[in-house]
Every structure is written in structure tokens, then in C-alpha cells.
Structure 1
Amino acid sequence: MVLTEQELNLSNAVTVSQAGLRAIEAGSREIDLSSLQNVDSSAVAVMLSWQRHAQAQQRALSFTGVPASLQSLIALYGLQDFFHMVPISSAERH
């Protein structure tokens, strides 16, 4: 699944979360977050929801294109080991 939103925050977290859950249900094993430019802690909560949903279905889930600001929040909460984040080079960014 390629996330097309540029923001993931409290105002759109429910909608984005639901779209991701549907994608996981449909078999998606990777979520590309490279379009995100602005995030708050809601983004971490959405990622946790997706990860738990995938785990409940015994599926691996990877995140690509995780912006530095979101990586910082993940580190702040000590969740680096909970997510499988695939690094991308700056040349691969949109």
C-alpha cells in the first residue's frame, strides 16, 4: 500500500488507519510512508494498529519511506524493534 496523504495526525488518523487495515486484509505486506511530510504521535498509533493487525493474521508487515520525523517519534517511544522499517535512499524518495 502506498500512502498518499502528506500528513498523518489526529485529524485524519482514523481514516488513514482504516485504509491501512483494509489493505492488510487484502494481503498488503508493505506500507510506503514516503509521501508523509507532517506527522504527530497519532502516526505512531496508526502504525501500531497496523502492525498488531498484521501480527494477528500471522503476517509480516514492513514500512518503507518512513520520514525522519516519524522515525524520531518511534525512537522516542522506544518502538524501533517493534516495526520492520526498510530504509530507502534519498534518490528513491518522491
Structure 2
Amino acid sequence: MLVLPSTLTHAKAGACLQLLLQGLKAEQGSQVLVDCAALSVFDSSALAVLLECRRAALYDGKQLATRAMPQPLLDLAGLYGVQELLAPAAA
């Protein structure tokens, strides 16, 4: 499972993305879960990071699912029309 940090803004997006992409390569199985529970301070860069992780996962033949996305981030994803691309993990 990949885990987002508590803060994911433009200033930290590049470094966070690199760490997540490294973790993605180590993930086994057909689905990669991203835990968003710790995320409390973010901007639209958080969506960009998640979408890039999704792209990389799909390239590797894996599906990306999210867990515990904060409601404001879900709202932002809805505003940009990408909420269906960042599907929550099946319960």
C-alpha cells in the first residue's frame, strides 16, 4: 500500500511523486491501494500526483484505488471531473 503524507502541496509534489512511483514498482498484485487518510493540507497538486500514479500503475498493468480520501479532495476531484479516475477501493 502506498501512503500519502499529511501535506501534499505544489512545493512537495515532485518529491512525493518520486517516492510514490518507487513504491509503485515494488507493489505486487494487480491493484495498488493509495491510503489518503493522513492527508490534511493539500492543493490541486495532490490530484496531479494521484493521477500520475494512476497512469504509471496502468502502464504496469495494475489498477489504482484510493482509501480514505478527504472530502475536500473528493470535492476538488469532482470539480475537475476526475473523480471516477480515482476510484475508492471496494469495501
TM-score for the superposition, normalised by structure 2:
0.87
> Match of 2:10, SS?
coil
Size of the aligned set, in residue pairs, is 87
Question: 1:84 Cα deviation (Å)?
Answer: 1.6
> Structure 2: which 5+ runs fail to align?
none
Shift of 1:2: 2.3
Cα separation, 2, equivalents of 1:17 and 1:54: 13
Instruction: Give structure 1 stretches of 5+ with no counterpart.
Output: 89-94
CA distance in 2 between partners of 1:74 and 1:40 (Å): 11
Normalised TM-score (structure 1): 0.85
Match of 1:85 among 85, 88, 91: 88
| Alignment correspondent of 2:12 | 12
Matching of residues 1-94 of structure 1 within 5 Å: 1-3=2-4, 5-27=5-27, 29-86=32-89
Q: Which runs of 4+ in 1 moved over 4 A?
A: none
- Percent identity of the aligned residues? 30
CA displacement, residues 35-61 of structure 1 (integer Å, 9 cap, x when unaligned): 011110100100110000000111011
CA contact 2:33–2:89 (8 Å) conserved in 1: no
